Structure 1
Amino acid sequence: MKVIVDMDKCQDHGQCVFSAPEVFRLDDTGKLEYESEPGDALRDDVEEAADVCPLQAITIED
């Protein structure tokens, strides 16, 4: 699984962090950081994060 965040769309709302904290996090300045290739065990959490993103900036590729 590959996670892609369109950083031009992302406005660092952080909803993804609540859904998948093992994959998404906000740095000290409030900017989003993420693991681009998390294990498949985290798929449900990543899919939830993509669903709750207010700007639909997260996509998942297999």
Structure 2
Amino acid sequence: MRELIMRAMHERSSMTQNIYHKQTCISCCFGSLNHIQHFAFVVTETRQAEPIPNIRSK
């Protein structure tokens, strides 16, 4: 379970690393919301019918 989350997070950071380096102030405003939405989407796509894990519990 945790391995799956870490893999999804790593894939996301790899895809958006250059973009995040270019965005600073704007990223602070929109980044957290977009990150949570995209993260939930990635987990949903990966796990399909399984429930989305609680992101806040780490």
- Do both share a fold (TM > 0.5)? no
Higher strand proportion? 1
Higher Rg: 2
Higher helix proportion? 2
Query: What's the TM-score, normalizing by structure 2?
Result: 0.32
Query: What's the TM-score, normalizing by structure 1?
Result: 0.31
